Chain A
Amino acid sequence: MSFSLAVLIPLFLVLFFNLPFYKISGKIAVFIASLFCIVQAFSFFIPADASCPAIQSLVSYFMLDFQCDGISRLMLLTSAIVAFSAILVLYATEESDRKQFNFINLILLSLAGMNGLFFVRDVFSIYVFIEVISATSCILIAINKDKNSLEASFKYLIMSSVATVMMLASVAILFLVAGGTDFVTVSNMYQQYGGNILVMSAVVLFIAGLFIKGGIMPFHGWLPDTYSAGSAPVSVYIPGIVTKTLGIYTLIRLFYSVFGFNTAIQSILLIFASISIVFGAFAAINQNNFKRMLAYSSISQVGYIVLGFGAGTTFGVAAAIFHLFNHSVFKSLLFVNSAALEKQVNISDMSEMGGLASKMPVTSTTSVIAFLSTAGIPPLSGFWSKLMIILALWTADLKVYAVIAILASILTMTYFLIMQKKVFFGRLKEGFENVKEAPLAITFVSILLCAITVVVGLLFPFVLNGLINSAVSF
């Protein structure tokens, strides 16, 4: 019940910030929002049934019909970590008080929508909260109001609208057939009529909509522009959690809790995931822009999550959820590094950089850790989640896909080595003699995210038992 607060608090905070009697500065808003993220992150460690009676009576007044399971709790933790990182990057990079204030309001609205999405168990409510997150993301991307950000926002708006129409049509068909939209009703209907062409078309429409939102190839057209054109905190927040929540978490939630698996759905997931992994990695190799390279890398890594999930077993779901958490952390770290470079060097073209490791040691070291984890090098967190994905595919007798996953790791290693060589290694390029390490807020976030990547990797047995097994019951 107390998880309703994860939706209500950010909503009330936005209302409180905007009351007409007084004016709150951007810095105070940043502080309060950061505090909320910390509390949200720690709520992961509080048992679901433990709640203060006073809070229970307060929340019961609103009667929010939310349900919380292990996956919801893990997503709650992930979104809090990424939002906290984005807020600190905002504090370090944005000087305008008004912009800080607006950004915080939008991020709180987005968090409320996201937390709602984690707890609802109704396909129409899922659609409503997806729209909340999409709308806030659209404005966040355009917040700089320059040509690139407005163009990226427009692309996102158009693609997102197409996805929305697909999902709404799917919800309408499901409602028409099942007579209700809650998970139990739709699931019962699906057990009975799952093979029917109308029901199948509804499921495929929903998957297509989610693939667009998640940036799975070939529905990824909007993603590189969006990731590269947004301001620094937006570039941390949207790739870090938004696309993963909209596309991947919703996909996992729907198939884990409502539809279940059949061979047709499994084939769709595995084929699109493999295309994403391979083509995303190849596209990343050819990029010169730091953020665009990370964007294509995200497409490839999201493919891994879908591939693990596509194994169709409980172990596969656990692997997918674990990689989702890990990828959110180390990809946020890489985007924080790109924000540090943008702030200190003011260039995003990698061919114009070089030798920055000596000038920016924290950014350089943390980016090496993040890329090693992305490539699946032991003992970092990315290694374990990729190993789980490969094992899930192997045990489900999907050996070809397991081999694709292994080989694509070499591609991941390739494009990250190219990035490290161009940006941090080699001789220092002219004009960079006076470059300094990024501001304290950014280096603090980098070290925090780096520590999570290392600690989760080193304490994997405990993480598996405490975090993953509790999220997905074996």
Chain B
Amino acid sequence: MDSIYIHIILLALIIISSIFAVSYARVIRGAIILGIVSMLVSISLFLLSCPLAGIFELSVCSGLITVIFISVISLTLPPDEKQRKVNSVSMMKKMVLLVLLVLVCGFSLYMLDSKNITFVPLMQNVQESIDTRDNIWNLRHVDLIGQALILLTGLFAVVVLFKKDKNKDKK
């Protein structure tokens, strides 16, 4: 399971799906692919021995957030034929920009590598001994409150922005 090829394949899949998620003209497909990206990130985190981060990614991002995204998008109107044509042209532009972005990042990393910068010694075996449950309920319980608040806010976003006003409709 620890083969480096699995990590490389996962990383490549994450990058490719992320590019598709942000460049798809139809937002519903983008949202579904975003869910897949989160799932791939969760697998990668589990393989990298970070179960806590994996659990959060799986539960919050690929689970609830994707469901909220898809439900919100389903409530909006689909684009017409004219809009679709405009979107497909802008998608080509986005692709060119993405290639440029990848090239700039690659060049920057190459330049950084050649500068021979002294990096800080990284901490080894960070919190390896701590149990995941212990981590969630004892160490990061404050963040759980924050996450509950964000989820409630997301629900209110759907209610406030997308629920039809019955009184307005009657008028």
Interface of A is mostly: helix
Closest to B157 in A: A139
Distance between Cα atoms of A197 and B112 in the complex (Å):
11
Q: B161 near A: Cβ within 8 Å?
A: yes
When distances are taken between beta carbons in the complex, the residues of chain A under 8 Å from B143 are 124-125, 128
Contact of A109 among B117, B118, B123, B153 (CB under 8 A): B153
Residue B156 at the chain A interface, CB threshold 8 Å? yes
Q: A7–B120 contact, CB under 8 A?
A: no
Taking a contact as CB atoms under 8 Å apart, the answer to whether B148 and A139 are in contact is: no
Query: Which of A120, A122, A139 has the most chain B CB within a 10 Å cutoff?
Result: A139
Q: Does A197 lie within 8 Å of B117, measured CB to CB?
A: yes
Q: A196-B118, A197-B117 are in contact. Are A113 and B159 (CB under 8 A)?
A: no
Contacts of A461 in B (CB 8 A): none
Q: CB-CB contacts of A132-163 with B at 8 A, as 1s and 0s?
A: 10011011001101000000000000000000
Interface residue? B100 (CB, 8 A): no
Among candidates B120, B160, B165, residue contacting A106 with C-beta atoms closer than 8 Å: B160
Q: How far is the CA of A138 from the CA of B141 in the complex (A)?
A: 25
B152 interface contact, C-beta 8 A: yes
- Give chain A residues whose Cβ lies under 8 Å from the Cβ of B119: 196, 198
Q: Which residues of B contact A98 (CB under 8 A)?
A: 165
| B149 near A65: Cβ-Cβ < 8 Å | no
Q: How far is it, in angstroms, between the C-alpha of A116 and the C-alpha of B150 when the chains are bound?
A: 13
Is B153 touching A132 in the complex (CB atoms < 8 A)? yes
| Complex Cα spacing A312 to B80, Å | 57
Which B residue's beta carbon lies closest to that of A7?
B145
Q: Are A109 and B152 in contact (CB under 8 A)?
A: yes
The stretch of A27-35, A52-60, A173-181, A420-428 that contacts the partner chain: A173-181
**How far is B126's CA from A462's CA once the two chains are assembled, in angstroms?**
48
Within 8 A of A (CB), among B30-47: none
B149 and A132 form a contact (CB under 8 A): yes
CA distance A25 to B160 in the complex (A): 16
Q: How far is the CA of A122 from the CA of B146 in the complex (A)?
A: 13
Question: Are A65 and B146 also in contact (CB < 8 A) when A109-B156, A135-B154, A196-B118 are?
Answer: no
Instruction: Give the complex CA separation of A66 and B146 in angstroms.
Output: 13
Other-chain residue from A136, A142, A145, A198 in contact with B120 (beta carbon distance below 8 A)? A198
Contacts between the two chains (Cβ within 8 Å), count: 94
Mark contacts of A250-281 with chain B using CB atoms, 8 A cut-off: 1 yes-contact digit, 0 otherwise: 00000000000000000000000000000000
Bound form: Cα–Cα A274–B122 in Å:
37
Residue B142 lies at the interface, judged by CB distance under 8 Å to chain A: yes
Given A106-B160, A179-B126, A196-B120, are A125 and B153 neighbors across the interface (CB < 8 Å)? Answer: no
Interface residues of chain B: helix, strand, loop or mixed (majority):
helix
B167 to chain A, nearest CB (A): 8
User: Contacts A102-B159, A105-B156, A139-B156 given: A179-B123 contact, CB under 8 Å?
Assistant: yes
Kindly state whether residue A368 has any CB partner on chain B within 8 Å. Answer: no
For A179, list chain B residues within 8 Å (CB).
Answer: 122-123, 126-127
Say yes or no: A180 contacts B149, CB within 8 Å: no
Residue pair A139, B152 in contact (C-beta under 8 Å):
no
A92 to chain B, nearest CB (A): 20
Asked if A65 and B142 sit within 8 Å, CB to CB, the answer is yes
A129 is an interface residue with CB less than 8 A from chain B: yes
Q: Is the CB of A116 within 8 A of B146?
A: yes
Measured between alpha carbons, how far is A98 from B167 in the docked complex, in Å? 10
A456 interfacial by beta-carbon distance below 8 Å: no
- Give chain B interface residues in 116-171, CB to chain A under 8 Å: 117-120, 122-123, 126-127, 138, 141-143, 145-150, 152-154, 156-157, 159-161, 165, 167
- Give the distance to chain B from A193, nearest Cβ to Cβ, in Å: 5
A63 within 8 A of partner (CB): yes
**Given A177-B122, A177-B123, CB of A106 within 8 Å of CB of B156:** yes
- Determine if A398 is an interface residue (Cβ-Cβ < 8 Å): no
User: How many Å from the CB of B75 to the closest CB on chain A?
Assistant: 13
Q: Which chain B residue lies CB-closest to A130? A: B146
CB distance from A237 to the nearest CB of B (A): 15
7 extra A-B contacts, CB within 8 A, seeds A62-B141, A132-B149, A176-B122 = A14-B152, A64-B141, A116-B145, A138-B157, A179-B123, A179-B126, A193-B120
Nearest 5 pairs between A and B by C-beta?
A: A179-B123, A128-B146, A132-B149, A135-B153, A179-B126
Residues in B lying within 8 Å of A, measured CB to CB: 117-120, 122-123, 126-127, 138, 141-143, 145-150, 152-154, 156-157, 159-161, 165, 167
6 contacts between A and B (CB under 8 A): A106-B156, A109-B152, A136-B153, A138-B157, A177-B120, A197-B117
